[in-house]
Amino acid sequence: MKQLKNDILEQWLNIEFTSVAHKMGLINADRVVSYNETLIYNSVRCLDYESIMIASPDVNYIITVIGLMWEHINFEEYDLRKIIVKFLSRIGYPTSAIICDENFDRANCKFTVLDSYIDEITTTINQLNNEVNIGNRKYLLTNFQKKIWDSMDNDKILGISAPTSAGKSFVILLKIVNRLRTENIDIVYIVPTLSLLNQVMEDFNRELKANGVENYWITNSFDGKQVKDRKNIYVMTQEKAIAAFDNFDEAFSKKLILVADEIQNIERIEEDSDQRAKILFDTLVEFRYKDNVDKIIISGPRIEEIDKVGESIFGTETIDHTTNISPVLNLTYSIKKKDKRYFLKQYCILTKNPLVIGIENTNLIKCYGKKIYTNDYLEYLSCIVNKIGRNSQNIIFAPTSSTARKIAVALEFPVTKCNLDLVEYYRNSVSENYSLCETLMKGVAYHHGKLPMHVRRTLEVAITNKNVSNVVCTTTLLQGVNLPAQNIFIRNPHLYINKTSEAVELTNYEMANLRGRAGRLLKDYVGRTFVMDEDAFAETEGYEQLELFEDESKELSTGYEQRFQEYKWEIEDALKNDKIVDETMKKYGYIISYIRQSVLRYGKDSKHRMDNVGIKLTQKQVAAIILKLESLTIPKEVCYKNRYWDPFVLEKIYTDFDLTVPKTPSEKGVKNKLDKILKWLRDKEETAFMYKKYIPSLYQNGQSRSIMVSLGLHWANGIKLYDIFNNDRYKGDSGAEKIDETIELLQQTISFNLPLLLKPIYDIKNPDSCFLACMQLGAINNITRAMIEMGIPRETSLYLFEKIFLNFKGNEKSELSEENIREIIKQHYDNLPYWIQVQLNFIK
């Protein structure tokens, strides 16, 4: 039977391989291999034996063969649907069988393709272990999902590691919804990106409504108003979560469940330039010391020893839930050049060596071994995507956001659905010269970190609804965003066009995550990744030829121990001699600030806390730091609210800063005041390092800084993007590129970095001012800011204020609570345009 198993797998992979090669136009039709009746008979016989006679069946093998049969068999000739349902139910993956039963009864978890009473009984018995109930609703889970479901009843901390399409986030969501039906408990759900934040908020709202849960509140920020008799669901980035701890003494004080999704983002904690990894780690450590945390779940794709990751962060036993089983078969196809010949290769996790076939039509291949995205390459890419991806959802990976835009503008595909209303919405809310409007008219979208929030949210809805079939993406795709796709196309691992000393490559682990985005649970049996230049990967460090395109796992380091030990002498010297953190300490300065902030906040108890994150100081050293910090005159609360600043730098601001700070972004002379403040921070020796950290080099001096300040004030005063872009600077091809650059400046530097830079000054000089809130949120009036804080995108909030709230009298506006605002929006919901409505579903 073992030899038969291998032969069957090889034959089906060869059928798939030659079919794809021909579809790509790389080989002629006479080389395509077809199935026959003997192969089908032997396949069914083998799957039957494997699924019923083997104590621990090879689930990946069964899913692979079934997936390939489903892709290539003519079901009018051989209807294998009932057999597929039986086999998948036997091995604990009945969820995958739903794909082949278009009339599946979801309410009762019942398959309709079974044509005998015996089959119904045996299948029902098999799937009983995989059914769960939430009230009157039934859900069907995989074996892996069911173990997580049960563990969330019994275990305090869970670590979940699985391939991208294993459905880990879905079962976590279901279990939380089940608890919210009967318990008054808060949820803190931490996600790495705004796209994933939007998705999680929508998922919660959908399942909570479907299951009749009431009195819940979904938000992406913490305002200190923890209503005791309401179920608060905080879906937040790590930056929002850490800000809650810094600004509120009693942050997240109700009984709660903590979920940290995409935990692999903690891996770059040792890199001096990666602030987000440190913030994520510090946020999780804050929850470690809270007594009201009922349950903690950390999850990520293929994390090695995730139980040890959990134990390291939280100091408590973590239950490991790890699987390498993917309900979706991921195949990788790559084009390889050897001497003067080209070959197509197929990689599958079940085979030791890839299948290889010589390419006959080599004239089709263009720009192999090159990096620049020329017109010749883009025509070649367009041709391949059209051949493979017609009638499919396709993702084209781009190394940078500007390249994503360039690729999308150059490509053109048949438009299957009209997107005129979406294009018109973007023209009116961003700019008539916005490149996304041009690309959508040609059946292409691009998705990257520079999209305005309202564009990001509506575009993701359009992609999910399959209004757009072709999406050019950057690394945003690696952060758990579920953009449906059967095919992914990638040229090389370079995350740059022109290589510099700071250029980075897509790692083997990240490549595995990217490939895992092809094909989704309950939607596809097979997902395909197409590598346009295999040699570019083979020549990149970290991609061993024997392990090329394998499902690489990741070992995560947590804490600061490695960096502390590496620079122990320098750190201890700085602490002993009261050295202020400056530019010479780029590699370790953040640890000095961490130590001083910890000692300032926790005194002698800080030693234990620092030990837990890998910073090993003696009690004598801690006592010496306590003594030195006693000389500070700045209020401790100001230091607590600015945890990533060296307290000695904050002391200098407190004692030396004497400029006037603007109270509002609309007051007279505000630009001049802000310019002077920034110049002071730049020129002051003690603050120059933080100035350079938060302000990109392009905008640190002269005219560029003046432009940044002007844009920041437009933004803070609630000027719409359309009006900001309505000038000659944003016209023509160069103007279209400047639109994306300006959006990044507004959403990253102006609304995030600049408030962090100015925050110590405002905490000292004018803590009650709304100036930083206006800058951060991009709005000057209270109602618009409240809507943005709820999670409504800025441009949509500005629109709603004009359409709904503008005619409210002054005292009525000031007295509106968040509850009032939500209720008023609900009352007007049905009269709002569709693309506005889809952004408000989480409060409907």
pLDDT digits (tens, 9 = 90+) for 286-309: 999 999 999 999 999 999 999 999
Going by pLDDT thresholds of 50, 70 and 90, the confidence category of residue 477 is low
Give the C-alpha separation, 844 to 830, whole Å.
10
Q: Give the pLDDT mean for 257-261.
A: 96
Task: Provide Rg for the chain, Cα atoms.
Answer: 28
What residues does CATH 3.40.50.300 cover in the chain?
Answer: 139-322, 329-357+364-547
Q: How far apart are CA 240 and CA 791, in angstroms?
A: 12
Question: Taking residues 316-334, what's their average pLDDT?
Answer: 94
DSSP label at 327? S
Once rounded to an integer, what is the mean pLDDT over residues 185-197?
Answer: 89
DSSP string, 745-777: IIIIIIIIIHHHHHHHHHHHH-TT-SHHHHHHH
The sign of the dihedral angle between the CA atoms of 136, 137, 141, 145 is negative
The enclosing H or E element of 190 equals strand 186-191
pLDDT confidence tier of residue 454, bands split at 50, 70 and 90: very high
The pLDDT value recorded for residue 115 is 65
Among the ranges given (226-230, 491-495, 654-658), the one the predictor scored with the smallest mean pLDDT: 226-230
Q: What pLDDT shows up at residue 415? A: 72
CA distance 381 to 365: 9
Picking from 818, 638, 826, the residue whose alpha carbon sits closest to that of residue 223 is: 818
Q: Encoding tokens for residue 668?
A: 């007279």
156 half-sphere exposure, CB direction, 13 A CA radius? 12
- Judge whether 267 and 276 are in contact, CB under 8 Å: no
Q: What CA–CA distance (Å, rounded) separates 706 from 94?
A: 61
User: What residues contact residue 805 under an 8 Å CB cut-off, 6+ apart?
Assistant: 783, 813, 816, 821, 824
- Tell me how far the alpha carbon of residue 9 is from its chain's centroid: 35
**Res 311 pLDDT > 90:** yes
> Does the CA dihedral 144-150-153-155 come out positive or negative?
negative
Nearest to 190 by CA among 267, 286, 258: 258
pLDDT confidence of residue 15: 97
- Domain 139-322 CATH superfamily: P-loop containing nucleotide triphosphate hydrolases (3.40.50.300)
Per residue in 589-602, pLDDT (tens digit) is: 999 999 999 999 99
Contact 724, 747 (CB under 8 A): no
**pTM listed for this prediction:** 0.92
Q: How many CA atoms lie within 13 A of 250 on its CB side?
A: 7
**Average pLDDT for residues 582-592, to the nearest whole number?**
93
Let me know if 175 is exposed, middle or buried by CB neighbors in 10 A (0-12, 13-18, 19+).
Answer: buried
Structure tokens that stand for 173 in this block: 């969501």
- Look at residue 389 in the predicted model and tell me its pLDDT: 87
- Measured distance CA(751)–CA(292) in Å, rounded: 32
pLDDT tens digits, one per residue of 790-835: 889 999 999 999 999 987 766 666 678 888 999 999 999 999 999 9
The two beta strands, 355-358 and 394-397, are: unpaired
Q: Cα separations (Å) of 792 from 388, 517, 727, 831?
A: 38, 27, 27, 17
Mean pLDDT of 709-736: 95
* 117-121, 514-518, 693-697, 701-705: the lowest-pLDDT one: 117-121
pLDDT confidence of residue 814: 67
The CA distance from 769 to 665, in Å, is 10
What share of the chain in percent tops pLDDT 90? 69
Quick one: which H or E segment has residue 64? Answer: helix 59-72
* pLDDT grade for 545, boundaries at 50, 70 and 90: low
Mean pLDDT, the chain, rounded, equals: 90
Question: CA separation (Å) from 528 to 298, 348, 383?
Answer: 28, 10, 17
Domain 329-357+364-547 has CATH 3.40.50.300: yes
Confidence of residue 419 (pLDDT cuts 50, 70, 90): confident
Predicted confidence (pLDDT) per residue in 374-386, tens digit: 999 999 999 999 9
DSSP string, 533-549: -HHHHHTSTT--GGGTT
